A and B are shown apart, each in its own frame.
Chain A
């Protein structure tokens, strides 16, 4: 067995199928899409070589610039939201709710397995104003805060934040469970020793739990960032990028340009930008994490 597993040919045999599938499913479309980004028009219909024009266009396309920064803003709000909320929930599960831990873990994880569109529609109803008030507006009216009743998803100033709340709520359970696994793997003796030295509550978390949880935290952040950079389904289901283009993230804009405005080339260029964004962020965080090891 040992001889087989150390033989490079055996390793190749075991890895080859996975590498092949990875290459076909992931790498080939990336390269293909990059090639399309130098063209203008629709694939198989009227594609024409465009050189760098699609990339030059981005600098003068106000909607691209808006969508780009909106996606960054979304990432900077939702990723910390998901990780912090997930972390706090994991601490709750480990230190405070031990007796009902299994039930609580199930409840906390439940939103993660719900379809994104279903969760989006749920929040649309919660924040509804017409044809009748949803939960939030009803509560505000009930407690005589009528001046706060508003079209949360129907105005450009608030729609973005409601989408953020929805996506944090949906995903925080996932990070709660991942980080919970990390926290419970910390040896009890380590925690006891810290307590004997006088570390309690937040001090214990800050000085002992978080440093030991670092690798999992870094992985969670990378995972969350990759998801938030590419956000599409929840935004599309809730506002379709509106009102106006106030919630049009880069993936939504890319989708509209490609399939509604029939410019596959320009849409592919945006896909390349999203890919590079994702790659850069992952590398930055990974380098930052490795520095401290």
Chain B
């Protein structure tokens, strides 16, 4: 039978249309992520109450770099499980993304108006584009403001680059930073925790002479090295140094910064950071410290979840000590001042702040402080009303330090724009490997943080 070309054309067109319609029918669920989303959901028993059947299914998604059972995500997941027992129409999903790509993923979701309910990280960017909620407003509405520790609220407000008394991130963890050290290595070499930067350099010389790497630093990430730089800067110029950089009162090319960068570069050249510092990621650097291959490790107290893990900590939790960034000769900063932060803060999607989410947040965050401490030993910016009877020693140490900390300051990049925050840690790699002079590093950093 002859088939007329025109009839063939009609048939092909119809087939093509059917194909397009089928392809266009996509799911609106949040499952389209790179990693399998972890779902915490317990459905009610088969016979449901009529009012429960009537409630619309709601999925609350939390995007984070953590796994479902890890740290902050672990606490939220457990609380969510309890909430879902009473509210079976709700599902809680943890969408885990690699840390390196989390900001990019959040940017893509924000651009397509598909931001999850709770977002860890990129708080400043989301604040700029007004897609997240003012926490004080939200928590006041929910009657949750008194669950937040005043110190945490103060830190969040001071860390907000807008400086208008608002804050947009939840302090699901509260961290104090400093130098964790191997007590046995220090004792074996008759060394005390240093109180000045010169003493710390002298101790490093001793370790080098004994074939021990003084510092474990994750140079590949960039920010662990800028933390060390920041430590010198705030001791030399005061805890408000970076705020003054932001306001323009200071420039990164000022003499205090040059001195700090020069000292850091010298430490790198002397081998205090070991070979190939720019190839080490966070996990590898931490392993060097916890396996007894490095004497000191600058890090935040979030690391104690690994310090408390006997599978990771081979030197033993009792062998881990802490000292604050030491004083610098001629500097105005003091050891009463600590680097404090709330980690990667978690924000709430403004467009999804509906009644279901409000009920969920009320339930979860009225219990968060206690649950985080009792189950995970996690120190957060939420008040602990019922502290557990037994707290791991390093967690207790962190709590004591937080109570002791008179004043706080943020990391080096805290007030930088997105470009500066992304580029400057990368420039640190040039500084520590010695291919850039301190002056060039600071000039490029200054240009980067001031660019539009």
**Residues on A facing B (Cβ under 8 Å):** 4, 7, 9-10, 12-13, 16-17, 20, 42-46, 124, 128-131, 150-151, 153-157, 240-246, 255-256, 258-262, 264
Binds A, one of B105-113, B149-157, B340-348, B377-385: B105-113
| 6 further contact pairs, Cβ within 8 A, besides A130-B275, A153-B276, A262-B418 | A9-B8, A150-B276, A240-B100, A241-B426, A255-B104, A259-B108
Residues of A within 8 A of B104 (CB): 255, 259-260
- Contact A154:B107 (CB < 8 A) given known A4-B5, A9-B9, A244-B427: no
Cα of A151 to Cα of B278 in the assembled complex, Å: 8
- Chain B: minimal CB distance from A113 (Å): 22
Interface contact B430-A244, CB-CB below 8 Å: yes
What residues on B are CB-neighbors of A241 within 8 Å?
A: 426
B219: A residues at CB distance < 8 A? 154
- Nearest 5 A-B pairs (CB), nearest first? A151-B276, A259-B104, A129-B276, A154-B279, A154-B278
Q: Which residues, 241 to 293 on B, are CB-close (under 8 Å) to A?
A: 274-280, 284, 287-288, 293
**Interface size class, chain B:** 35 or more
CB pair B278–A242 under 8 Å, yes or no, is yes
A13, B418: Cβ atoms under 8 Å? no
Q: Which residue of A lies closest to B436 (CB)?
A: A244
| Residues of B bordering A, CB below 8 Å | 3, 5-6, 8-9, 12, 16, 100, 103-104, 107-108, 110-113, 125, 128-129, 131, 219-220, 222, 274-280, 284, 287-288, 293, 418-419, 422-423, 426-427, 429-430, 433, 435-436
A66 to chain B, nearest CB (A): 12
14 contacts across the A-B interface (CB closer than 8 A): A12-B9, A13-B8, A20-B16, A42-B110, A42-B129, A45-B111, A151-B275, A151-B276, A153-B278, A242-B429, A260-B103, A260-B422, A262-B418, A264-B111
Cα separation A43 to B109 with both chains bound (whole Å): 11
Alpha-carbon gap, A245 to B448, bound state (A): 13
> How far does the alpha carbon of A177 sit from the alpha carbon of B161 in the complex, in Å?
57
A246 to B429, CA, bound (A): 10
Residue of B nearest to A42 (CB): B111
Contacts of B430 in A (CB 8 A): 156, 243-244, 246
| A256 contacts B110, C-beta separation under 8 Å | no
Q: How far is the CA of A155 from the CA of B278 in the complex (A)?
A: 7
Are the C-beta atoms of B279 and A128 separated by less than 8 Å? yes
Q: Which A residues are in CB contact (< 8 Å) with B284?
A: 130-131
B376 to chain A, nearest CB (A): 28
Known A42-B110, A131-B288; contact A243-B429, beta-carbon cutoff 8 A: yes
Check A261–B426 contact: CB distance below 8 A: no
- Chain A residues with CB under 8 Å of B288's CB are 130-131
| Chain B: minimal CB distance from A240 (Å) | 7
| Chain B residues in 8 Å Cβ range of A155 | 278, 433, 435
Taking CB as reference atom, which chain B residue is nearest A260?
B422
User: What are the residues of chain A within 8 A of B419 when measuring CB–CB?
Assistant: 261
Q: Would A10 and B8 count as touching, CB distance under 8 A? A: yes
Specify which chain A residues have a CB less than 8 angstroms from the CB of B3 in the assembled complex.
4
The distance from the CB of A137 to the nearest CB of chain B, in whole angstroms, is: 9
B111→A260 contact, CB < 8 A: no
Cα of A261 to Cα of B435 in the assembled complex, Å:
25
Q: What residues on B are CB-neighbors of A244 within 8 Å? A: 426-427, 429-430, 435-436
